[in-house]
Homo-oligomer: A and B are copies of this chain.
């Protein structure tokens, strides 16, 4: 197995386990077992667990925002694009594997202990907010809408994560529609 595929399999297993069971309750040995990558190789690729965690969050960040952007881009109408964000959230919440927002969860676990993880969470949330801002600008709506839309989305992620329901996405979409059409 060459280095690139070993790295990818390690990250696949790490993501599945870290996201599904939490970071601290998954040991490096669990990742070895799930990925088939030996401990020796794991430590060559990621000299410490924290670096594996960072790589997991980093890769997931790129993919998460990419998938959201691809979904939204299918919509032509600029205002509908904003609504599509909440449609996408609803689909995500309905996924069998959904267990809340990976970054909010990671922040709860490690935010107080690891500055690097805390920084990654901040960067991810800021990037999401900036993306919403770009959609708002694209629809020629006042920039002041960005904050509220972002809060609705974050609230929906938290609430869906805790309750396991997709309803928060529908509620958030409805509220977003209402905010977009006010005066």
Residues of A within 8 A of B (CB): 20-22, 24-25, 99-100, 104-113, 118, 121-122, 125, 144, 147-148, 150-159, 161-163, 167-168, 171-172, 174-175, 178-179, 182
Contact = CB atoms under 8 A, between A and B. Distances in A.
B122 A151 contact: no
A159 B22 contact: no
B174 A144 contact: yes
Contact of A148 (B21, B125, B175): B175
Contact of A171 (B105, B113, B151, B157): B151
A183 to B, nearest CB: 9
B155 A25 contact: no
Nearest to A158: B154
Given A155-B153, A171-B148, A162 B113 contact: no
A175 B155 contact: no
A159 B151 contact: yes
Contacts of A171: 147-148, 151
B112 A163 contact: no
